[in-house]
Every structure is written in C-alpha cells, then in structure tokens.
Chains A and B, each alone.
Chain A
C-alpha cells in the first residue's frame, strides 16, 4: 500500500504519531482483514432478526429484480403445480359461497369482532392480497421468501403470509418499493403463535412455536417438528394481530 509520505513529512509529527503511521503502513493488510471481518460479524449480529435498514431496501430491490427475471423462467416449469393449487383454492372458495347455504352462515362468526357495537353487520378483519413468490429457500439455516409486492402495493412489514391452502407461511420483515422479504416458518427467529382449534372449547392450548431445524439434541425435536408441520398443513394456526396478505 503506497503511503502518502509527502503529505506527512517526518519533522512535523512527534515520534509517537509517526510510529502509528508506520504501524498502519506495515500491517495495512492485516488491519483491513480484521476490519472487514469485524464489519461482517457486525452485520451478522445486527441482522439476526431484521434485515439491515441501510442496505436493506437497496439490495432488496436489486436482488428482487434479478430474482424476478429468473422466476419468470421457472414459472413455466411449475404451471401444472400452480394450476392444481388454484383448482383446490377455487373449490374451497366455492364451498364458502353464501348462496349455497340456506341457513345463516354460522361459520363466518369466527371472523366477527365481538367488541364492535353493531353485532348484526360483519366486519372485514383481514384483507387478502395475492403476491407471487420470486425467491424461496428451504434448506438454509435461516430461510426467507421474496414476494413481488412491496410498499407501492400496500405491503407493510409485520403482515402475515399464507399459501393458497390457507396455511401459515411466515411474516413480512422487510419491504422495499416492489418487493417484500418474508421470514418463513423455517427461520431461527420465527415465532408464530398457534392454537389448536379442536381443543379450544375447554382447554385452549396456546403456545409460541419456534422452528429449530438443526438442534438434534433437543429432546422433543421430532415431536415439535411433526406438530409444526401438522399445524401448518391443517391450517389451525392463526396469526394474531397481523393483517393477512
């Protein structure tokens, strides 16, 4: 590393200061190495839960654009699967049509906020927005999804995400203009509160669930994982306080 000696003639500094400069010059590579390592570890520690606010939306937007291009190609390979899940979702929606019921639909009572004064009208509790998945990982330690829908399309961080079957997918943690990063259930810090609907009448189990993908020594690991999958696939988990996307 060239040292700008002409800027600091030796006579102007006391010897201690000169020694510092000499030290930096001598060990510049080591110091740079330590600095970069420290910066990386700072990023890791600082971002364990939420994505970095400074780089976050910029890198998010950039990687989102690239992801979108590739998901366009990939989308064709999944058309069959997409179609199947759409047929399923459609069937489910048909089953919910009010015109098909002769008696008042009592199942919709679940969604009525009882604190409201007017108990005859129903209120919309959740808004559902469709969004396309442009990136998804399942095998990493911390798994994320990226949706092609951002602040410009009414997505805020903290919203819940469900799949076509109504199962919980995760929570939006970071939003840029056109893309949203979703912390999936398969994330170390993912805590989704769940409730078993069948058991709610008398003994309402309520538990915070956490995904522990690699703790092989964790005693109830298999049980927890099985329960988590069952809960997710039988759509009994509810996401409180979040607006569903």
Chain B
C-alpha cells in the first residue's frame, strides 16, 4: 500500500480506537491508557521534520476536538515529534539503517531493546508533558508523578501488544533494487 494512504488510514484508526475504545475504559483515576501517539512513533524515517511536527499537531488537535479541550494533546504530540529524530539518530544500530527500512519497528531498530527504549522514552515524555499541562490547572505534584508513571506503564503494555498483534511487514530496501 502507498505510504500516504497507509498513514491516512492509520491516523483515522488510531483516533477512533483512542476515542471510542480506550477513552471508554476507566481502569482507575490514575491510569489513562493512550495508544494514539503510536502513529507518531510509526511515521516514516524519511519524512521531513517540519512535516512530522505539523502532522503530529494535527493528530493531537483532532483528539482534542473529540475531548472538547483543545491544546493538551496537541502540545504533547508536537513535543514527541520534535524529539523523535534525535532519539532515532541515537538508537539506530548502524549508519544508513534508517534509509534501508521505512519506519521504526523491532526489526529496523535492531532488536527489542532499542525499540523498547525508543517507545518508552517517547511515551514517558508524551505523558509527562500532557499531565503536567493538566496538573498546572489542578496543581498536585504527587498525583502528576504517579499518574505519569502508571499511565506510561499501561501504555507501554498496550504498545507491545499492538506490535505483536499487528506485525508490520518491513521489507529491506536497498539502493540497487
């Protein structure tokens, strides 16, 4: 499938799953399961950083529109879209791996651990910034810390399950082909 079409479908699916499945689950006051931002983690390597941030803003703004509370998710999404390329450069196994594969995955990042660090750090940053912005209005530091850590743990479990359930085919691309 064309990368553009694939990503448009993903965008819609992630938003719908987040709004109509995960937002309906009330595990605990402290835990909010999030998965929609996996769209940002899965964006292609060769996408321009400017576009990554603009698309991330659009994703966050769409989710905010459903929550009738604009700004929160948009800010968090833009932040992780900005940080993502730095992390990719740090964690990519060898020079040029980001041109051989299309997007981040277990395979393209060279194993479970680097990919897990990649997702873990970005999830923590996303949740941290999101709940910090919310906590600014409510103001309770311990609530913020616990909510961030617990939600990050739950989101990571969800991401791993998603990766195992929907295995993405990552074909090795070479210049010669």
Cross-chain contact A36 with B74 (CB below 8 angstroms): yes
Q: B166 an interface residue at 8 Å Cβ cutoff?
A: no
Smallest Cβ distance from B9 to chain A, in angstroms?
16
Q: A59 an interface residue at 8 Å Cβ cutoff?
A: yes
Q: Tell me what chain B mostly uses at the interface: helix, strand, loop, or mixed.
A: helix
Smallest Cβ distance from B71 to chain A, in angstroms?
4
Q: B163 an interface residue at 8 Å Cβ cutoff?
A: no
Assembled-state Cα–Cα distance A184/B92 (Å)? 47
Closest to A1 in B: B50
Closest to A189 in B: B137
Q: A51 an interface residue at 8 Å Cβ cutoff?
A: yes
Q: B32 an interface residue at 8 Å Cβ cutoff?
A: yes
Q: Which residues of the partner chain A approach B133 to less than 8 Å between Cβ atoms?
A: 41, 44
Q: B42 an interface residue at 8 Å Cβ cutoff?
A: no
Q: Which residues of the partner chain A approach B20 to less than 8 Å between Cβ atoms?
A: 70
Q: Which residues of the partner chain A approach B134 to less than 8 Å between Cβ atoms?
A: 141
Most buried by A among B60, B66, B138: B66
Assembled-state Cα–Cα distance A138/B27 (Å)? 12
Q: Which residues of the partner chain B approach A63 to less than 8 Å between Cβ atoms?
A: 65-66
What is the size, in residues, of chain A's interface with B at 8 Å between Cβ atoms? 43
Cross-chain contact B70 with A214 (CB below 8 angstroms): no
| Given known A33-B53, A62-B65, A139-B32, contact A43–B140 (CB-CB < 8 A) | no
What is the size, in residues, of chain B's interface with A at 8 Å between Cβ atoms? 35
Cross-chain contact A142 with B66 (CB below 8 angstroms): no
Assembled-state Cα–Cα distance A55/B137 (Å)? 22
Cross-chain contact B71 with A42 (CB below 8 angstroms): yes
Q: B67 an interface residue at 8 Å Cβ cutoff?
A: yes
**Residues of B participating in the A interface, judged by any CB pair closer than 8 Å:** 16, 20, 23, 26, 29, 32, 48-50, 53-54, 57, 60, 64-72, 74-75, 78-79, 82, 133-134, 137-140, 142-143
What would 5 A/B residue contacts be, using CB atoms closer than 8 Å?
Answer: A29-B49, A44-B72, A138-B26, A139-B26, A216-B142
> Told that A36-B78, A37-B79 touch, could you supply 14 new A-B pairs with CB distance under 8 A?
A1-B48, A37-B75, A37-B78, A42-B71, A60-B65, A60-B68, A63-B65, A63-B66, A66-B66, A141-B134, A144-B69, A214-B29, A214-B140, A216-B140
